[in-house]
């Protein structure tokens, strides 16, 4: 027994990332198979069994899985229940949406002006685009935040930089004043609320509650059918998810992951070991915000429209729900949770699910799905804190004693005491 | 001529008496009838332009019947007897028949077919003139109510003629309140209509520091200015102030427009007009010798236009680039355009004095607004101060308890139509409903999650989502009304600026009551003692014979119940929707956190701060309440940086327990 | 012997209650010191101040040859400077293996980017095993720390403390919940450690303190009541009065 334990000690094997984590290979293989399968079955390049709109739904789901990965990293591993990651997701969407909308409108405006007797000036083109985009909110000039909207590389940089910088500044403020636990959650929720309220204004410069639309049309590629575009985005989403998964695995395995999980379990103890806890939290918070931004930038061109309601705090709460149902603290759990719950939600709220007639009352899924989701969330929290991912443990019979919530020592356990402090 | 007419009339009336056998004969010689006859022609002509003398004659006649004549005339009840040529008034019996009366004594003359009469139908302009004339009679009416009504009519729509009327009664009015109003109105009308500037200035100065809206309405038109320009600032008395072009008051384009209007500068050609001119002069593939294809910058287009000017094909015009240069060469200033300079200056002086006072009063009003918003936040947060502040349980469904209370009120009003009674029933019922819901939630969910705040947060989120959708399924998505009793309508008015609605006062009082209730329950009752014991050390409390389970359940129920009552109050103030809870939840938590968790005075201070902040920001940026909320949240985030434990922070071991 | 830590004139109060009152304390480079005192004497608060958890209202806390002030440093900076602390209750990371716990504590660069690129070398592995041997947990290296017994967790924490290679060890009641044999072993480890570094032990158990055989500081109501050998302080009138009461 003793010798066996010694031999299997993970720290003794100097190995590569993937060999060390066979589950990563399984995950990547599943993702590749899935991508291949959808490509073959879809309309764009395959036999056309799967409709284009469903390919888009699947592509969007992959993006949601990516942001769920980020959420799992920040919450499941680092213990920060952020209610702001869907805001970062939305910011990524807005950043790419600005370019899509600008570039497409530019093509239309230039085309319409080309028929005029005089060649258009730069100012006329710009005025024409602004009138097209902002007419709906009664403005006709470009707000300052659109300064680089004409440039794809700069807006792509914004997809990464804006959520990253916002997370960096907010995280720096919050972590440095040692706001933790539920206070931090409420603070992130407040940040999200502030952002969405700001975007709801007409003079926010992002078209108020109209949001940005027509994002499914790629500028300059008007001739390419949506069935092809949808497959491109599906591939991009799958690639992003695969890379994101590898990145997350790399971060959480090894000593860094060990420190991060230690911070989750007992922050002050880690501090007394000499680790600058705030820097670690800030690193994870910012990294995940960037991942969320990228996921959003891939999601919204598939959705076609983005508006401030997508950023409202409730969206981030749903993200937490997905991760919790999937099983936090394990990366594949987050992916499974996001895919499972979001696809189920699409099914039930899309009106395809058959209503249940009870005789005296007809249960319409469109209305009752949210109730069910909310309650199932309570049930998962109470009875299955490990979520769906816990099922895998059960199947693999990798039973390890879970003492969550139970007393851990002769007195009230350290972990429990720690949680009570927050 | 009139003599002849009178003769005829007399003759006719004699005939009439003889043949028609009326009930009474009409007195053609009565003074009022004579007066009417005198102006008969213009009355019959019924034109607003010429009618003036007739109305004035009637109003100034001093005849007792004049008022009745004017009223009948205005009411389209005055008729002209084609046979006798006399004016009478009549009631229509049916479409054909009328019953006529004599103006002189009000005697009935009989019923006649209406084809012998012509109805006088004054148009609205004439009716207005008549009305103005009538006011003078009403001001002398023996009934004070009628006199007050006349004053209101003047306040609403005054004209020059009223001034004399008011002056006539100013010294004779006996009722002191009416007398004061007449005096004030007379001064206002003096400002507006008097000819003599000295008189107007005196009247203006008499209003020094007055906050009335009417005063500002009378003064503001006097200080209206007109933009003017010149090479130097003239030393005229009517120059109000110098204006710098490019400022908020006067944009550069407007400044240039003034110069153009004064013919000091050539008209500006807009880009669009320039473009049109260029297009109109396209000559094959070039304009004025410049290739069309190259005209894709503004500089090139300007050059092409100048070339056209040189060729004499278009008018010389300034382009946008010339504007700044031209505008810089002139001085711009405002002239008083609506009144003589002395009057305007006096009005300006009084107005600025008033404005200072208005600003002060607006601050007070803003303070009252902030206070009432603070009491709303306090109401929403006080339940949280118990469940979160005292017990440390984070309940994200707290907002939904508020919503539940509000919907309880709405349902009660469906069954009890009397608003006072229904609110009286709704308050305890809302407490009962949410107390029950709170206890159920504590028993079923929260007690399994004590000391695991993040999981409590998640589970209660789930409940919040479910409850919100449930409310949507039951009550629909549209807002439901919760109507306040009639005695809460209206406002307590201090002056024209400072006022507060009774419903806000009621909410403020309710907030104070809750504060008192909280303090009494926590500090003066056995329950409060046990609650404090259980929250500080549950094991020790249990060993002293306190049942922590029971105490936790009751405390949570109590906090939730208060949320229910707050829901009724908030429902009265705002609409009841399924989302009303989530509108308040973040602010409520912020209130508790900003104030300092675990301290009710902190919550009070937090609510006051959050309310004042929000109103303050709204005042700075009145058009945009969304922005106000955004900035307020940002402010709170920053505030927590500097005082992470809130305004009233517990220090040391107690804070870490 | 040069002074490693110098605490002088330190006071701190919580809501009017003076937890530490004008406390002065010194310890040298390689010295063992036992701190005793009745409940509420300020022993834990004293450690909190040295490790940066609590900021004093007044006074100075100076560290090392350069007499650096610890008051302006964060907890992690103080820990990196060489102050290690063992808590009263064992606080190890229960979700992680014993090996991971020890690896976390090993004296290495602590910045996120350095840790991100860290790969355990052969020497690191061996050091972990060596430490595990010292605390008797070689067999448990791959087990989760949460599965250990209370005593084993105490050991693990001591092992982590040693792995940090601190210059000053602050140990709060190390022997609580241990069997007599384990106490013996703990004493050995601490005495061994004190040969190369400063060790401050807070302990109630007089027998344990006696076995450490070192200078003793008695705290009472936040300040030093007596200082000297164990026999010296146990015969001190004031100490007897405080401990036994009148």
User: A62: pLDDT confidence band, cut at 50, 70 and 90?
Assistant: very high
Q: Minimal CA–CA distance to C107: which of C160, C144, C60?
A: C160
Burial class (CB in 10 A: 0-12, 13-18, 19+), A397: exposed
Contact assessment for residue C188 and residue C136, using Cβ atoms and an 8 Å cutoff: no
Give A-chain residues touching C115 at CB under 8 angstroms. 255-256, 259, 275
The 3-state secondary structure of chain A reads: CHHHHHHCCHHHCCCCHHHHCHHHHHHHHHHHHHHHHHHHHECCCCCCCECHHHHHHHHHHHHHHHHHHHHHHHHHHCCCCCCCHHHHHHHHHHHHHHHHHHHHHHHHHHHHHHCCCCCCCHHHHHHHHHHHHHHHHCCCCCCHHHCCCCCHHHHHHHHHHHHHHHHHHHHHHHHHCCCCHHHHHHHHHHHHHHHHHHHHCHHHCCCHHHCEECCCCCCCCCCCCHHHHHHHHHHHHHHHHHHHHHHHHHHHCHHHHHHHHHHHHCHHHHHHCCCCHHHHHHHHHHHHHHHHHHHHHHHHHHHCEECHHHHCHHHHHHHHHHHHHHCCCCHHHHHHHHHHHHHHHHHHHCCCCCCEECCCCEECHHHHHHHHHHHHHHHHHHHCCCCCHHHHHHHHCCCCCCCCCCCCCCCCCHHHHHHHHC
> Cα(B454)–Cα(A75) distance, rounded to whole angstroms?
10
Question: Residues of A numbered 274-303 whose beta carbons fall under 8 angstroms of chain B's beta carbons: which are they?
Answer: none
Domains of chain C: which residue ranges? 3-92+166-244
Tell me how far CA of residue A271 lies from CA of A251, A276, B217, C82, C105, in angstroms: 20, 6, 68, 13, 11
- CA B279 and chain centroid, separation: 51
Give B-chain residues touching A370 at CB under 8 angstroms. 465-466, 468-469
Q: For residue B288, give both structure tokens.
A: 């004025």
Give B-chain residues touching A197 at CB under 8 angstroms. 626-627, 629-630, 633
List pLDDT tens digits, range A205-227: 888 888 998 898 888 887 888 88
Average pLDDT rounded to a whole number, residues A140-145: 84
**Confidence (pLDDT) at B653:** 41
Question: Residues of B numbered 435-464 whose beta carbons fall under 8 angstroms of chain A's beta carbons: which are they?
Answer: 445, 448-449, 451-455, 457-459, 461-464
Report the residue of A87, A125, A138, A190 to disrupt the B interface, i.e. the one with the largest count of B CBs within 10 Å: A190
The C-alpha of B497 sits at a distance from chain C's nearest C-alpha, in angstroms, of: 46
Closest in C13, C15, C19 to B654, CB measured: C15
List pLDDT tens digits, range A226-282: 889 999 999 999 999 999 999 999 999 889 999 999 999 888 889 989 999 999 999
> Cα(B655)–Cα(B533) distance, rounded to whole angstroms?
16
B385 DSSP 8-state letter: I
**Confidence (pLDDT) at A19:** 61
**Of the options 3.40.1190.20, 3.40.50.620, 3.30.565.10, 3.40.50.300, the CATH number for the domain spanning C3-92+166-244:** 3.40.50.300
**B198 touches A: beta carbon within 8 Å:** no
Closest in C91, C112, C118 to A269, CB measured: C91
Does ipTM surpass 0.95 in this model?
Answer: no
Chain A neighbours (≥3 Cβ pairs under 8 A) are B, C
The yes-or-no verdict on residue A124 having pLDDT over 50 is yes
The C-alpha of A139 sits at a distance from chain B's nearest C-alpha, in angstroms, of: 16
Closest in A197, A203, A371 to B470, CB measured: A371
> Cα(C200)–Cα(C32) distance, rounded to whole angstroms?
6
Q: Minimal CA–CA distance to B363: which of B103, B23, B632, B616?
A: B616
List pLDDT tens digits, range B35-93: 778 787 777 777 777 777 888 787 777 777 777 788 888 888 888 877 777 888 888 88
Question: Residues of A numbered 383-402 whose beta carbons fall under 8 angstroms of chain C's beta carbons: which are they?
Answer: 400-401
The yes-or-no verdict on residue A292 having pLDDT over 90 is yes
**Confidence (pLDDT) at A418:** 41
Q: How many CB atoms lie within 10 A of CB B491?
A: 13
Q: What whole-number percentage of chain A has pLDDT above 70?
A: 88
Can you say whether residue A410 is alpha, beta or left, with left for phi > 0 and alpha for psi between -120 and 50 degrees?
Answer: alpha
Can you say whether residue C90 is alpha, beta or left, with left for phi > 0 and alpha for psi between -120 and 50 degrees?
Answer: beta
The yes-or-no verdict on residue C63 having pLDDT over 50 is yes
**Interchain pair B654, C17: CB under 8 A:** no
C119 DSSP 8-state letter: -
Q: How many CB atoms lie within 10 A of CB C180?
A: 9
**Confidence (pLDDT) at B10:** 54
**Confidence (pLDDT) at B435:** 95
The C-alpha of C14 sits at a distance from chain B's nearest C-alpha, in angstroms, of: 5
Report the residue of B652, B653, B654, B655 to disrupt the C interface, i.e. the one with the largest count of C CBs within 10 Å: B652
Q: For residue B187, give both structure tokens.
A: 């001064």
Q: For residue C193, give both structure tokens.
A: 């450690």
Average pLDDT, chain C: 85
* Residue ranges for chain B with pLDDT beneath 70: 1-25, 319-321, 622-624, 648-657
Average pLDDT rounded to a whole number, residues C210-217: 87
Give C-chain residues touching B652 at CB under 8 angstroms. 13-15, 17, 19
**Confidence (pLDDT) at B11:** 53
Contact assessment for residue B101 and residue B109, using Cβ atoms and an 8 Å cutoff: yes
Average pLDDT rounded to a whole number, residues A354-369: 78
List pLDDT tens digits, range C49-58: 898 888 888 8
Is the dihedral angle over the CA atoms B153, B154, B156, B159 positive or is it negative?
positive
């Amino acid at each position: 027994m003793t010798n066996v334990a010694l031999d299997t000690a993970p720290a003794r094997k100097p190995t590569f990332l993937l060999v060390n984590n066979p589950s990563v290979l399984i995950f990547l293989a599943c993702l590749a198979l899935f991508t291949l399968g959808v490509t073959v079955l879809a309309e764009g390049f395959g036999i056309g069994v799967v409709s284009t709109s469903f390919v888009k739904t699947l592509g969007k789901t992959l993006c949601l899985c990516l942001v769920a990965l980020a959420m799992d990293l920040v919450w499941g591993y680092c213990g920060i229940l952020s209610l702001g990651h869907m805001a970062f997701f939305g910011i990524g969407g807005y950043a790419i949406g600005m370019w899509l909308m600008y570039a497409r409108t530019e093509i239309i405006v230039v085309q319409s002006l080309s028929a005029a007797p005089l060649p258009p000036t730069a100012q006329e083109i710009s005025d024409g685009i602004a009138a097209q985009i902002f007419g709906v909110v009664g403005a006709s000039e470009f707000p300052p935040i659109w300064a680089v909207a004409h440039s794809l590389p700069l807006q792509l940089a914004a997809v990464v930089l804006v959520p990253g910088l916002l997370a960096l500044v907010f995280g720096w403020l919050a972590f440095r004043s040692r706001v933790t636990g539920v206070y931090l959650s409420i603070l992130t929720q407040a940040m999200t609320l502030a952002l969405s309220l700001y975007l709801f204004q007409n003079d926010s410069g992002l078209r108020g509650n109209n949001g940005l639309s027509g994002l499914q049309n790629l500028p300059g590629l008007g001739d390419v059918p949506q069935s092809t575009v949808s497959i491109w985005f599906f591939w991009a989403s799958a690639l992003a998810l695969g890379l994101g998964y590898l990145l997350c695995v790399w971060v959480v395995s090894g000593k860094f992951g060990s420190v991060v999980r230690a911070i989750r379990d007992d922050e002050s103890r880690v501090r007394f070991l000499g680790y600058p806890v705030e820097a670690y939290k800030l690193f994870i918070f910012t990294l995940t915000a960037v991942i969320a931004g990228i996921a959003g930038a891939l999601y919204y061109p598939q959705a076609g429209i983005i508006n401030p309601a997508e950023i409202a705090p409730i969206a981030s709460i749903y993200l937490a729900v997905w991760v919790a149902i999937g099983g936090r603290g394990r990366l594949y759990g987050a992916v499974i949770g996001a895919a499972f719950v979001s696809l189920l939600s699409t099914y039930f709220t899309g009106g395809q699910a058959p209503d249940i007639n009870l005789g005296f009352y007809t249960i319409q899924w469109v209305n009752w799905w949210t109730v069910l989701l909310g309650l199932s969330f309570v049930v998962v929290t109470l009875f299955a804190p490990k979520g769906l991912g816990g099922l895998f443990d059960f199947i693999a019979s990798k039973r390890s004693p879970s003492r969550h919530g139970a007393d851990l020592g002769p007195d009230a356990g350290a972990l429990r005491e720690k949680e009570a402090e927050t | 001529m009139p003599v002849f007419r009178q003769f005829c009339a007399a003759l006719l009336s004699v005939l009439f008496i003889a043949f028609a056998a009326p009930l009474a004969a009409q007195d053609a010689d009565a003074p009022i009838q004579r007066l009417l006859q005198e102006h008969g022609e213009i009355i019959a002509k019924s034109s607003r332009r010429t009618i003036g003398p007739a109305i004035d004659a009637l109003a100034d006649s001093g005849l007792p019947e004049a008022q009745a004549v004017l009223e009948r005339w205005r009411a389209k009840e005055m008729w002209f007897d084609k046979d006798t040529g006399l004016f009478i008034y009549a009631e229509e019996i049916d479409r054909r028949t009328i019953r006529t009366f004599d103006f002189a004594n009000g005697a009935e003359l009989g019923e006649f077919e209406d084809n012998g009469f012509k109805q006088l139908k004054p148009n609205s302009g004439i009716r207005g003139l008549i009305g103005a004339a009538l006011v003078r009679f009403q001001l002398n009416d023996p009934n004070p109510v009628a006199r007050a009504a006349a004053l209101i009519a003047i306040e609403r729509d005054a004209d020059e003629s009223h001034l004399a009327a008011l002056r006539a009664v100013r010294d004779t009015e006996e009722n002191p309140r009416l007398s004061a109003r007449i005096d004030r109105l007379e001064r206002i009308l003096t400002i507006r209509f008097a000819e003599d500037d000295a008189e107007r200035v005196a009247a203006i100065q008499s209003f020094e520091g007055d906050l009335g809206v009417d005063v500002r309405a009378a003064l503001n038109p006097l200080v209206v200015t007109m933009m003017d320009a010149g090479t130097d600032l003239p030393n005229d008395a009517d120059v109000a102030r110098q204006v710098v072009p490019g400022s908020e008051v006067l944009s550069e384009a407007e400044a240039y427009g003034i110069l153009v209007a004064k013919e000091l500068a050539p008209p500006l050609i807009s880009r669009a007009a320039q473009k049109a001119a260029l297009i109109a002069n396209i000559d094959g593939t070039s304009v004025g010798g410049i290739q069309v294809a190259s005209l894709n910058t503004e500089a090139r287009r300007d050059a092409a236009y100048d070339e056209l000017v040189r060729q004499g094909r278009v008018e010389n015009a300034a382009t946008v680039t010339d504007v700044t240069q031209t505008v810089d060469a002139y001085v711009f200033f405002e002239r008083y355009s609506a009144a003589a300079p002395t009057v305007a200056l006096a009005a300006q002086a009084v107005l600025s004095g008033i404005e200072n006072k208005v600003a002060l009063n607006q601050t007070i009003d803003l303070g009252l607004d902030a206070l009432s918003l603070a009491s709303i936040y306090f109401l929403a947060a006080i339940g949280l101060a118990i469940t979160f502040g005292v017990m440390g349980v984070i309940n994200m469904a707290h907002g939904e308890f508020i919503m539940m209370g509000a919907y309880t009120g709405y349902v009660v009003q469906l069954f009890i139509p009397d608003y006072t009674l229904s609110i009286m029933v709704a308050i305890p019922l809302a407490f009962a409903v949410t107390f029950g819901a709170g206890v159920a939630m504590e028993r079923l969910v929260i007690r399994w999650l004590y000391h695991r705040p993040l999981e409590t947060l998640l589970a209660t989120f789930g409940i919040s989502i479910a409850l919100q959708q449930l409310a949507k399924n039951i009550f629909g998505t549209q807002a439901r009304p919760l109507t306040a009793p009639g005695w809460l309508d209206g406002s307590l008015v201090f002056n024209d600026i400072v006022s507060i609605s009774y419903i806000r006062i009621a909410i403020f009082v309710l907030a104070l009551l809750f504060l008192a209730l909280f303090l009494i329950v926590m500090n003066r009752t056995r329950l409060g003692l046990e609650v404090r014991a259980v929250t500080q050390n549950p094991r020790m409390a249990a060993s002293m014979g306190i049942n922590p389970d029971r105490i936790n359940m009751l405390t949570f129920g109590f906090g939730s119940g208060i949320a229910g009552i707050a829901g009724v109050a908030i429902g009265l103030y705002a609409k009841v929707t399924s989302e009303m809870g989530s509108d308040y939840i973040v602010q409520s938590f912020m209130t508790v956190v900003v104030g300092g968790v675990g301290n009710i005075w902190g919550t009070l201070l937090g609510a006051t701060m959050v309310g004042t902040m929000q109103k303050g920001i709204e005042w700075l940026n009145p058009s945009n309440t969304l922005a106000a909320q955004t900035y307020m949240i940002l402010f709170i985030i920053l505030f927590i940086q500097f005082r992470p434990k809130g305004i009233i922070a517990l220090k040391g071991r107690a804070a870490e327990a | 012997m040069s002074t490693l830590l110098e605490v002088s004139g330190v006071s701190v109060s919580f809501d009017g209650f003076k937890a530490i009152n004008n406390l002065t304390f010194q310890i040298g480079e390689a010295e063992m010191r036992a701190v005793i005192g009745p409940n509420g004497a300020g022993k834990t608060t004293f450690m909190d101040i040295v490790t940066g958890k609590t900021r004093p209202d007044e006074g100075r806390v100076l560290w090392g040859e350069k007499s650096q002030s610890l008051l302006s440093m964060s907890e992690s900076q103080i820990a990196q400077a060489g102050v290690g602390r063992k808590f009263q209750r064992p606080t190890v990371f229960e979700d992680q293996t014993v090996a991971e716990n020890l690896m976390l504590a090993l004296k290495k660069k602590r910045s996120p980017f350095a840790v991100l690129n860290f790969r355990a070398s052969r020497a690191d592995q061996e050091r972990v095993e060596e430490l595990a041997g010292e605390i008797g947990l070689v067999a448990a290296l791959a087990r989760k720390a949460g599965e250990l017994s209370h005593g084993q967790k105490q050991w693990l924490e001591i092992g982590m403390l040693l792995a940090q290679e601190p210059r000053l060890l602050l140990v709060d009641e190390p022997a609580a919940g241990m069997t007599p044999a384990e106490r013996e072993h703990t004493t050995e480890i601490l005495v061994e450690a004190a040969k190369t570094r400063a060790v401050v032990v807070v302990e109630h158990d007089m027998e344990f303190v006696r076995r450490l055989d070192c200078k003793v500081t008695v705290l009472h109501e936040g300040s030093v009541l007596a200082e000297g050998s164990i026999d010296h302080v146990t015969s001190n009138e004031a100490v007897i009065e405080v401990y036994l009461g009148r």
